[in-house]
Amino acid sequence: MARTKHKKLNEVSSFENVFDYKAGNTEEELLKYFGNSNSISLEIGCGEGDYTISLAKLFPKRNFIGIDFKGARIYIGAKKALENKITNTTFLWINAEKLPEFFKNTKIEEIFITFPEPHVKRRSERKRLVSPRFLEFYKQIIMQCGHIHLKTDDDFLYNYALEILNKVKATILFKSDDLYSLNELDEIKKIKTRYEKYYLNEGRKIKYIEFVLS
């Protein structure tokens, strides 16, 4: 393992705004960090956390948790949040499939899935963050009628998500296969993730689905 990655992995768990599921950190510890009863929303696959931080800045009266199973990526967002004293953000180092085991008492207000890997091989379907398996996990933790957002540059994943959402009879509130061709976007849809900036530079079109599970 490269030295810097090793250093980040050693250090990240000691950050007061990082909670490590495998190390036994609990929901109660995480809630205590926020120190309020404001609503909680998640970014799943947050990578370096810049989108989670942008949401937290946009909505100071709400709490946001960046979720990722790569500790070295979380390190960057967590450090930035601490340095900038953004206290309505934490990071949870966990595989998203364990979220129902972690959130036993909390109902999540909103979920953002930003630029997940498409996992195009058929046998990798279970890893897709919008597969029926993952939608079932989200259903267990989200409030009734809580909105779920998917942002992607990937045609395959966008079409797959529409097909699955149709199958599970989800209500689609908004969809676009070319988000930035639209004139009026709300503040959330305009936030750009780190990966998104690369994709836009390459001239790729950004796709978006906002939905509610029934």
Total interface residues for ligand SAM by CB under 6 A: 21
What is the enclosing helix (H) or strand (E) of 163?
helix 155-167
Q: With binding defined as CB under 6 A, does residue 110 bind ligand SAM?
A: no
Residue from 103, 111, 193, 213 that binds ligand SAM (CB under 6 A)?
A: 193
Report the residue number, 124 or 166, with the smaller CB distance to ligand SAM: 124
Spatial strand order of the sheet with 108-114 comes to 18-20, 89-93, 63-68, 40-44, 108-114, 142-152, 207-212, 171-176
> Residue 85, Cβ neighbours under 10 Å: how many?
6
Residue from 5, 57, 62, 70 that binds ligand SAM (CB under 6 A)?
A: 70
Q: With binding defined as CB under 6 A, does residue 96 bind ligand SAM?
A: yes
Contact region with ligand SAM (CB under 6 A), list: 4-12, 34-42, 159-167, 193-201? 193-201
Q: Pattern 10-49, binding to ligand SAM, x per CB under 6 A?
A: -----------------------------------xxx--
Task: Say how far residue 17 (Cα) sits from the centre of its chain.
Answer: 16
User: Which positions from 114 through 173 interact with ligand SAM, judged by CB under 6 A?
Assistant: 114-117, 129
Distance between CA 186 and CA 201 in Å, rounded?
22
- From first CA to last CA, the distance across the chain in angstroms is 44
Distance between CA 68 and CA 45 in Å, rounded?
5
Residues engaged in binding ligand SAM (CB under 6 A): 45-47, 51, 67-70, 73, 95-97, 114-117, 129, 193-196
